[in-house]
């Protein structure tokens, strides 16, 4: 019944730092065409933190956008979901950009599929890298992340909850059995 903490505050920060260093070392320059897009909701503050971490490493000021994929989901009409819809804010031209698409948890891959479709409606990035704080497995589509903070083996009925200070008041990653409700 109890939730297990996978990351504490320091570990969340360290994971973002590790991802930033990985990107900085492995993605070839020029860095001027880089841009970061976070998937609503917790991908957005992660994207902002990643931009700051990259800038501290020496990258130029990076444009950061947010993406709400609700209207691009493929399960409308199948599940009784009434999601809270957030706004998509992409104030820069995606065409020709090297995009880092950021999500908190990588799971079935369907969110990423939706996000890619939505991004293509905005423009034609020259390359998209996928970044996730946690990869919990159980993919249903052939999608893999390029940069991951932590890979966590999970059961399908378990849930992974990410807390970020900007939204939740604290930082942390939690694994809990399905019976535990956070909301």
Partner 1 sequence: MKDLLGLEALTPAQIEHILDVARPMKSLFTRSIKKVPALRGKTVALLFFEASTRTRSSFELAAKRLSADTLSFAASTSSVTKGESLLDTAKTYEAMKVDFMVIRHAASGAPELVAQAVKARVINAGDGSHEHPTQGLLDIYTILEKKKRLDGLKVVIVGDILHSRVARSNLWGLTKLGAHVTVCGPATLIPAGLPEVFGPKVTVATRLDEALEGADVINVLRLQRERQQGDYFPTVREYTELFGLNTDRLRKAKPDCLVLHPGPMNRGVEISSEVADGPRSMILEQVTNGIAVRMAVLYVFANPEGLPATPPDGKQAAKAVTALKALE
Residues in touch with partner 1 (CB under 8 A)? 1-3, 5, 68, 70-73, 76-88, 117-118, 121-122, 161, 163, 167-170, 174, 176, 180-183
By beta-carbon proximity to partner 1, the closer residue of 24 and 174 is 174
Residue 11 or 168: the one with the smaller Cβ distance to partner 1 is: 168
Minimal distance, residue 29 CB to partner 1, in Å: 30
SS3 127: strand
The candidate with the shortest Cα–Cα distance to 36, out of 103, 120, 85, 84, is: 103
Least distance to partner 1, CB of residue 170, Å: 7
> At closest approach, how far in Å is the CB of 28 from partner 1?
30
The residue (of 55 and 154) whose beta carbon lies closer to partner 1 is: 154
Closest CA to 67 of 121, 112, 129, 115: 115
Give the C-alpha separation, 64 to 51, whole Å. Answer: 7
Q: Which is nearer to partner 1, 152 or 180 (CB)?
A: 180
d(CA 159, CA 167): 18
> In the complex, what is the shortest distance from the CB of residue 31 to partner 1, in angstroms, rounded to a whole number?
27
Q: Which residue number, 29 or 96, has a Cβ lying nearer to partner 1?
A: 96
Sheet with 172-176: strands ordered across: 4-7, 172-176, 159-163
The region, left, alpha or beta by phi > 0 then psi within -120 to 50, assigned to residue 77 is left
Going from the C-alpha of 46 to that of each of 1, 22, 158, the distances in angstroms are: 29, 15, 23
Least distance CB 51 / partner 1 (angstroms):
22
């Amino acid at each position: 019944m109890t939730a297990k903490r996978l990351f504490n505050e320091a570990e969340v920060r360290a994971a973002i730092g590790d991802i930033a260093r990985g990107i900085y070392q492995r993605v070839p320059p020029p860095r001027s065409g880089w841009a970061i897009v976070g998937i609503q909701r917790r991908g957005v503050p992660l994207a902002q933190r990643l931009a700051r971490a990259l800038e501290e490493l020496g990258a130029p000021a990076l444009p950061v956008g947010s993406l709400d994929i609700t209207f691009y989901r493929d399960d409308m009409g199948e599940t009784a979901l009434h999601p809270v819809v957030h706004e998509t804010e992409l104030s820069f031209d995606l065409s020709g950009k090297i995009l880092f698409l950021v999500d908190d948890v990588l799971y079935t891959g369907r969110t990423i599929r939706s996000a890619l479709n939505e991004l293509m409606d905005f423009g034609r990035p020259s390359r998209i890298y996928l970044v996730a704080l946690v990869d919990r497995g159980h993919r249903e589509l052939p999608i893999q992340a390029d940069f991951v903070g932590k890979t966590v083996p999970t059961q399908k009925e378990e849930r992974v909850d990410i807390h970020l200070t900007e939204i939740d008041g604290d930082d942390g990653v939690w694994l809990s059995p399905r019976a535990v409700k956070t909301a």
